[in-house]
Amino acid sequence: MITTSEKVTAEDTLIRLIHKLEQTQSLSREEWTQLIRGRTPKATEYLFERAREIRIRHYGHDVYIRGLIEFTNYCKNDCYYCGIRKSNSNAQRYRLSKEDILSCCEQGYALGFRTFVLQGGEDKWFTDERLADIVASIRSGWKDCAITLSVGERSADSYQRLFDAGANRFLLRHETYDHEHYSRLHPDTLTAAHRQECLWNLKKIGYQVGTGFMVGSPYQTPELLADDMLFLKELDPQMVGIGPFIPHHDTPFAKEPAGTADLTLYMLGLIRLMLPKVLLPATTALGTIAPGGREKGILAGANVVMPNLSPASVREKYLLYDNKLCTGSEAAESLADLRRRMESIGYQVTVSRGDSLNM
Ligand code: 5AD
């Protein structure tokens, strides 16, 4: 007979799984599923405490900043969730010139940024030659800075050329690991297999790699999130970017519900426990979906924020989802505001490249 004191509650099971995750940095698919599906406020509090401690152990109270330069919103892809998909004829397309990009870097450097992230749609105008030329110019102009590319799927040769030109890091979210789920979020021209192959190629070349996924994307289940965690474990990236799915009014997913801040924060905590030294941004999408979202992200184990360095005139055009923040402390020129916000929760923005310790 089971007495009350012996009865293992669902809450105890969650705490036990979180403890096991912290001790071993690994769980089975079933355990991940249970941990994600069973989420409770009490387990969440415990998780965040553990995540903060681990984060502080490795990175102290430092928050690394990255200057995000959204240099083109032309895209040849047609992802069902994304506001800059090629079929969105309402999107006002733009492309920054090399001079524009270099001037973003100059302003960013003066503000204290030591990482520049060049992010864009998959825009054929930016051939290897053009992009490598831009990377090489940034490399020679700002030798102490890291250059991060986030330009989607390209050939291994292309990734190599850009690396040789001076790029150090590459962000490419896997979006979702499961092949069938991937095919429900993307047209047939895009596959999970190719996406993942790109990530392995980037790693082989020597990039510091960032991957990640949307939380609460249509058709996502706890089992699928479990698969995402297992994939992260296998890839062992230097950086993991996650944010809630947020519908965009001009996409096939316009009427789908958004992901929640709560589940995103919970996943951030879990990622911190599984990959203790990983770089973990509190993303713009998280800041968009919830007031104080980025601060909450930091308190759940995140250690990076990526303010927008793009020229103000194009910021509103890089609209991946509705209401995307690009002003206030999302904007690079409001760094003072961001600093204050981080200080208000006991953390400090630092001027440094902020390389990953997960090498
Ligand atoms: N909601 C949230 N995130 C989105 N992204 C694209 N569209 C959306 C959306 N509607 C994310 C994708 C992509 C990154 C640049 O932005 O995960 O990899």
Q: What is the pLDDT of residues 119-164, one digit of tens each?
A: 999 999 999 999 999 999 999 999 999 999 999 999 999 999 999 9
Q: What is the pTM of this model?
A: 0.96
- Minimal CA–CA distance to 18: which of 57, 37, 46? 46
- C-alpha 214 – ligand 1 centre gap (Å): 7
Alpha carbon distance 269, 45 (integer Å): 10
Q: Residue 211 forms beta bridges with which residues?
A: 240
Any alpha helices (H) in 208-311, and if so which ranges? 222-235, 261-274, 284-289, 293-299
For residue 311, the model assigns a pLDDT of 87
Cβ burial, residue 222 (10 Å; 0-12/13-18/19+): middle
- C-alpha 320 – ligand 1 centre gap (Å): 6
Identify whether the C-beta of residue 324 lies closer than 8 Å to the C-beta of residue 286.
Answer: no
Residues in the chain where the model's pLDDT stays below 70: 1-7, 329
Q: Is the CB of 330 under 6 A from ligand 1?
A: no
> Which atom of ligand 1 is closest in space to residue 171's alpha carbon?
18
Q: Is the CB of 245 under 6 A from ligand 1?
A: yes
Beta pairing, strands 304-305 & 62-65: parallel
- Minimal CA–CA distance to 119: which of 3, 273, 241, 218? 241
For residue 158, the model assigns a pLDDT of 98
- C-alpha 338 – ligand 1 centre gap (Å): 23
Q: Is the CB of 248 under 6 A from ligand 1?
A: yes
Q: Is 290 helix (H, G, I), strand (E, B) or coil?
A: coil
Q: Is the CB of 243 under 6 A from ligand 1?
A: yes
- C-alpha 260 – ligand 1 centre gap (Å): 14
For residue 297, the model assigns a pLDDT of 98
